[in-house]
Amino acid sequence: MILFFYNLALLVVLILGSPWWLWRLATTQKYREGLAERLGSVRLLKAQPDRPLIWMHAVSVGEVLAASRLVGELDRAFPDYQVVISTTTRTGQALAHERFGADRVFYCPLDLPWATRAYLNTLQPRLLILAETEFWPNLLNGCFRRGIPVAVVNARISDRSWPRYRVVRPFFRPLLKQISRVLAQSPTDAERLQAIGCKPECVSVAGNLKFDVRSAAEADATRLLKTAAPNLRFVVAGSTLEGEESALLQAWPQLLAADPQLAMILAPRHPERFAAVAALLDNSGIPWIKRSDWRSQPAPLSPILPGQIVLLDTIGELASVYSLASVAFVGGSLIPAGGHNPLEPAQFGVPIVMGPHHANFRAITEDLLAHQAVSIASKENLANTLINLLRDSSSASAMGNRSKHVFDQQSGATVRCVDSLRELLSVNSSPERR
């Protein structure tokens, strides 16, 4: 009955919102990309009819990065299975193509009855794995009706999402109690997931997959930066949001006064903002270059000059570029947006600066704070915080070593997830289906 009202509400939203959606489809490429797949047209994946299939869903770039090592371990642990990966966003799709190969990556269908039915009927997965908390009622119900077990890995409920989940838990409880495995990031996440309806015996703490992610092979951007700026030090500002770039540009003259051999790598979080950040850099009067322009330049590149800013307007290279940082600023945290992942610079032993808003990575940030492995700065003292780390190399190095220690100490979530999924598959695979 609840599913009936959910689908009725979806229908009403689609009808009332159709003029807006049609306008967005007509004017914005990202809304058109993958539309047929999202509506239930199942693109042919690499044909392997003799192998049962595991479907993993990772929403966007962050989830794809977190799941990248897990997918590799699933390939090794279950050689008789084919692992396919879906994403929701365009940027997630591009990164998944790069990491896993286009022949097993597709857009996740919208949570419409006919779209999810088409995928489940065609793919016939033996297991659906959801990264974090992608609880879509029609997809879940379709799996349960077919006897397909569902597992959630890296499961979490952020402080910002928790009040909303408490409001809708009467609706979700009948679905969530049917999920076979819920592997939470932290004890707090496990408690919250049980509170909204997941069975306590199906919930366990596996840890955060992002602690297990190691940067892939050195990105082209990293190699080119080393060549074009061998004697410069870098501030790498990653995953920045609107309002943070302007704060960094305002602080830049003070940073240069403290260290004239400095350059900045600025990596906005969302590709659709690349043009806006480029315009902001144009208006700042600060010399800057675009990473994407290097693709059309003959080698060798022109050297990067002290005081220049490099706009990293590419996808999937930031994690590797953090390795060049003398100090890293992790964005989404100067403004109340919940913050982004500080583990990417931590894996390289880089000293980390974040703003005060980091609820989305609360457990990770608290662990780093407990080990004095991150500095928290407001907009007002951002420049001074960065300058102190740039000037005091011994303190910066010690902080970086502590951040890497935290990163290494917390690893192991991937192994725990694979072990749990192996048990789940063995329980749910009858002899004739193996």
CATH number at residue 110: 3.40.50.11720
Residue 3 domain flag: no
270-314 confidence digits (pLDDT tens)? 999 999 999 999 999 999 999 999 987 776 788 999 999 999 999
- Considering the domain architecture, whether residues 192 and 226 belong to the same structural domain is answered as no
Number of domains present in the structure of the chain: 2
pLDDT at position 48 is 65
pLDDT at position 302 is 86
User: What is the distance between the alpha carbons of residues 370 and 380, in angstroms, rounded to a whole number?
Assistant: 24
- Among candidate residues 63, 132, 244, 317, the one labeled active-site is 63
- Considering the domain architecture, whether residues 247 and 266 belong to the same structural domain is answered as yes
Crossing angle of helices 413-428 and 61-77, rounded to 10°: 60
- Considering the domain architecture, whether residues 265 and 324 belong to the same structural domain is answered as yes
Is residue 144 within 8 Å of residue 10, measured between CB atoms? Answer: no
Is residue 417 within 8 Å of residue 213, measured between CB atoms? Answer: no
Burial label, 346 (beta-carbon count in 10 A; 0-12, 13-18, 19+):
buried
Going by C-beta distance under 8 Å and a sequence separation of 6 or more, which residues neighbour residue 23?
none
Is residue 387 within 8 Å of residue 258, measured between CB atoms? Answer: yes
Low-confidence ranges of the chain (pLDDT < 50): 430-434
User: Strand pairing partners for 84?
Assistant: 55
Mark whether 63 is an active-site residue. yes
Count other Cβ atoms within 10 Å, centred on residue 285: 8
- Considering the domain architecture, whether residues 194 and 240 belong to the same structural domain is answered as no
pLDDT at position 47 is 54
Residue 339 gets the label, from left (phi > 0), alpha (psi -120 to 50) or beta, of left
User: What is the distance between the alpha carbons of residues 52 and 18, in angstroms, rounded to a whole number?
Assistant: 38
pLDDT at position 210 is 86
Is residue 324 within 8 Å of residue 234, measured between CB atoms? Answer: yes
pLDDT at position 215 is 65
pTM of the model: 0.80
Write down the residue that tokens 């032993």 correspond to. 349
- Considering the domain architecture, whether residues 58 and 128 belong to the same structural domain is answered as yes
Sheet holding 181-184, edge to edge: 105-107, 82-87, 53-57, 127-131, 150-155, 181-184, 203-205
Is residue 94 within 8 Å of residue 315, measured between CB atoms? Answer: yes
Radius of gyration of the chain (CA): 23
- Considering the domain architecture, whether residues 190 and 107 belong to the same structural domain is answered as yes
Residue 146 domain flag: yes
pLDDT at position 9 is 82
Residue 332 domain flag: yes
Residue 30 domain flag: no
User: What is the distance between the alpha carbons of residues 89 and 67, in angstroms, rounded to a whole number?
Assistant: 15
Q: Please report, for the domain that includes residue 381, its CATH number.
A: 3.40.50.2000
- Considering the domain architecture, whether residues 105 and 118 belong to the same structural domain is answered as yes
What the block records as the tokens of 389 is: 């780390």
What the block records as the tokens of 127 is: 């297991």
DSSP state of 184: E
- Considering the domain architecture, whether residues 119 and 261 belong to the same structural domain is answered as no
- Considering the domain architecture, whether residues 203 and 303 belong to the same structural domain is answered as no
Give the SS3 label for residue 258: helix
pLDDT at position 359 is 86
- Considering the domain architecture, whether residues 181 and 231 belong to the same structural domain is answered as no
32-63 confidence digits (pLDDT tens)? 788 889 888 887 776 566 789 999 999 988 89
CA distances from residue 192 to 115, 123, 149, 168, 206 in whole angstroms, order as listed: 30, 32, 21, 13, 15
Count other Cβ atoms within 10 Å, centred on residue 303: 12
Residue 29 domain flag: no
Q: Cis ω on the peptide bond leading into residue 253 (within 30° of 0)? A: no
Residue 31 domain flag: no
Which range of residues forms the domain containing residue 343? 220-409
Residue 8 domain flag: no
- Considering the domain architecture, whether residues 328 and 184 belong to the same structural domain is answered as no
- Considering the domain architecture, whether residues 85 and 69 belong to the same structural domain is answered as yes
DSSP state of 287: -
Residue 23 domain flag: no
